[in-house]
Structures are given as C-alpha cells and as structure tokens.
C-alpha cells in the first residue's frame, strides 16, 4: 500500500511523509520509479510506531494533520506462534497513532481486514456493524486494533479490505503468474469466496477520503469531530473464489499450458481456518464518499498490464 500512496502523492498539493518502507525490495523501487517517474523520492523517515513519544515528535515536528496506517503483521500462519509482536503491531501501534491524532485533532485512516470475520457462516456480504468473529491471531489482533482506535475518541476512518494485490512485493497475482507459466498443473481452492482488491484502487479511495476530510476541516472551527468517522468496507466490485481468481490471471497472461484444477481447502492444511465467505458489503463507503469502485477483473487487467509490459 505504501508504494501506491507514493504514486498518488506525487501529484498531490499536500505534503506526504512516508515511513517504515525502508525494507522495500529493489524490484518494488524499480517498479515505483517506472510508474511514478524516475525523480520520485524513495527515501523514508524512520519511525517506530510502537513508540508513542516517537510518533508525537514527528507529528509535532512535521505538523502532521492526518496519518494513513498501512503497517501490520500480515503473515497469517506465522502469527499463530509469533507471540506478542502481532498484538503490538496490529493493535497497540494503531492505538498509539490514534492517541496522537486525538491530541492534535487530526485524522487516522487505518487499513484493516476481512479476517475480522470468518468464525460464523455467512452467505451474504458482510456489513460494517456485523459482529467480528476472527478465527486466528491475525484477525483477532486486527479486530483489537479497530477497537482500540475507536476507544481513543480520535477522528478515524477504518477501511476493511480483502485479497489485496499489486505490482509490488509478494502477492497472489505475482505468485500465480509464475506458477501458471512454469507448472503443467495447479490446484487452487474453490471453497473460499471473496473479492480481489487492487491496492491502487484502495489508495485512490484513501486519497478521496482525505480530500473529503480537508473540505470539512476547512468549514469547521478548530475543535470538531469529523462527521464521517467510522468503519467502512472497501474491495473491488464482484465476487470470485481463489480458483476463479487464478484462472483469470492465467487467461490475461495467456498462460494456456497450465491445467488449473479446483480443490477443497482441506487439501492445503493451515494453522488458521481462512474465511470461507468474506465478501464485503461496500454500500456505506460508496454512498458516504460518493466514488465509483471498479470491477475486480478490470482492475486485475490494469495491474497485470503494468507487470507484464
């Protein structure tokens, strides 16, 4: 998500400070320069978001009015045995950011996940007020993060998203591109259903929310509460299984020699039970912020064109 925000920030009238992307791969940096221009600044500020005073210092020094938090411990399987670090990164760190934004009356935009659901059987898209039923440590700690942000009383927008992919880093699209071009046969689960989300589309949504926040800020006195504080769902439009997702990736890439077969989740044992149905209802975000959301396969084509060409 950080690289996608950089691309959009390049043409923004606002000043953006990026932190905690110092481990970006050479591949990601090369792709970023290709998409956003060779002159883009890829340097970052070092910030330990588990340190409340460090956050206060940078917010005060740089006069920060809004924070977008894309940081998290996201290795779902490893989270089961990783210990306290998962709660620290997914719950305590967002709480720290929220506390500081409360102190300066700023906005925290926080990226959360569909993994807050999964422990109950759903057959209709999940709504924001639906009870969280996480099945693993990752989902539980992300839910704790949401709750801790809300408890601070800061201005906040929490965006739950799902099946995130992009040109950058490791993700399902890049993995499937490699496997379908090198393997004669592949099995992909068909009993987990959701919606792929192009990270650039999520970045556009975040920028739209910040612009809306700025308009309301300019029309209000110094101390106020953002009228659109809350939890929202964002993914691309449509529904598919991981099998359907893989088939579409292979089709767009013209990888015809790989025989992709559907299989059950039980054929790939995991420490964590993944949500079988985590389609997110996006009615609230669309009507609150009034922006269109692309269909998942159209965004997939856009992303893959950038990867392949």
Question: Tokens in use for 300?
Answer: 């997939």
Question: Tokens in use for 99?
Answer: 């506390």
Whose tokens are 């099998």? That residue is 243
Residue 138 is a catalytic residue = yes
Nearest CA among 108, 115, 82 for reference residue 93: 108
CB count within 10 Å of CB 37 equals 11
CA distance 173 to 188: 13
CA distance 226 to 212: 10
Which of 73, 115, 138, 198 is flagged as catalytic?
138
Catalytic residues: 138
């Amino acid at each position: 998500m950080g690289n996608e925000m950089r691309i959009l920030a390049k043409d923004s009238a606002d000043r953006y400070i990026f932190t905690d992307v110092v481990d970006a791969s050479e591949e990601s940096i090369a792709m970023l320069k290709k998409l956003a221009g060779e002159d883009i600044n890829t340097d970052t500020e070092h910030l330990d978001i588990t340190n409340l005073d460090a956050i206060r210092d940078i917010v005060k020094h740089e006069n920060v009015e809004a924070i977008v938090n894309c940081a998290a411990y996201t290795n779902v399987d490893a989270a089961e045995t990783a210990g306290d670090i998962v709660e620290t990164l997914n719950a305590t760190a967002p709480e720290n950011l929220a506390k500081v934004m409360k102190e300066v009356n700023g906005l925290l935009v926080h990226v959360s996940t569909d993994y807050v659901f999964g422990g109950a059987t759903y057959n209709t898209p999940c709504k924001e007020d639906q009870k969280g039923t996480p099945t693993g440590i990752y989902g539980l700690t992300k839910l704790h993060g949401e709750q801790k942000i809300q408890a601070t009383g800061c201005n906040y927008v929490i965006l739950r998203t799902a099946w995130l992919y992009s040109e950058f880093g490791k993700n399902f699209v890049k993995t499937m591109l490699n496997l379908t071009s090198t393997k004669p046969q592949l099995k992909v689960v068909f009993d987990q259903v959701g919606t792929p989300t192009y990270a650039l589309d999520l970045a556009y949504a975040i920028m739209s929310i910040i612009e809306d926040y700025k308009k309301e800020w300019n029309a209000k006195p110094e101390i106020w509460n953002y009228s659109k504080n809350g939890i929202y769902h964002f993914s691309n439009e449509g529904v598919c299984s991981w099998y359907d997702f893989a088939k579409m990736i292979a089709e767009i890439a013209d990888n015809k020699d790989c025989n992709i077969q559907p299989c059950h989740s039980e054929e790939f044992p995991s420490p964590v039970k993944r949500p079988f149905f985590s389609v997110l209802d996006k009615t609230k975000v669309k009507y609150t912020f009034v922006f269109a959301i692309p269909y998942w396969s159209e965004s997939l084509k856009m992303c893959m064109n950038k990867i392949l060409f």
